[in-house]
Structure 1
Amino acid sequence: MQSIDIIRLSEKQKQQLIILKRKTGIENWNVLCRWALCMSLADPTVPPKEDIPSDSNVEMTWKTFSGEFSELYLTLLKEAYRKFAKTDGDTELSTFVKIHLNRGINLYSKSL
């Protein structure tokens, strides 16, 4: 299975996270992104495929994104990806993460 090296965010996601940082008081992008990813993975539906640009200056390594629970996040992602790949084998793991992160950031932004 593929690996995830770098998480890059779109400008829209960056702007949403800036607002979330202000509303929650949470200063770190990676913490907000982890929560957003979990919110999306908790939804049993598959997020819509869309072309999400990596056009902001916000990026983080997988290690920074996942922190001390790297193995846990990777296991959750791989299990969700395995189920997803049965219906769509053309999507790479990095794209799968990107669409889940996008949906999660949108959900998180709307929840506050």
Structure 2
Amino acid sequence: MTDMRCPYCEAECEVCHDDGAGYAEEVRHVHECHECDKVFVFETVITFEYHPYPTECLSDGSHEWEPSFTFPIEHTRGVCKHCHTERKATPEDMAAAFAYRAELASRAKLNGKDSHP
């Protein structure tokens, strides 16, 4: 993905963000174009985008729980698959987690891979 285009030659330019460089707002950052070798400045603008999702479970408490995929398995939690609310794993959550790991191990053996989920 291109960060910006050179204001002189329109070449695609990427900002090296090593050590957080180029992220500060209200600062003019100096950049040299790799195509035309001209130097220019750019400003960083950070925007936020929000994506709402309906989660009836937060209103009526009808969460759909599934076990988290956690290592080690003893740290498994129950997680609602809609709102991601967590709870302490129930015996049913743990049984599902162990069954899922066993299924993964079985598939790995069928594919000739030695796996220890």
Q: Give the number of the structure with larger relative contact order, counting CA–CA contacts within 8 Å between residues 6 or more apart.
A: 1
Question: TM-score, normalization: structure 2?
Answer: 0.26
- Hey, which of these two has a bigger chunk of helix by percent? 1
Q: Which has the larger radius of gyration?
A: 2
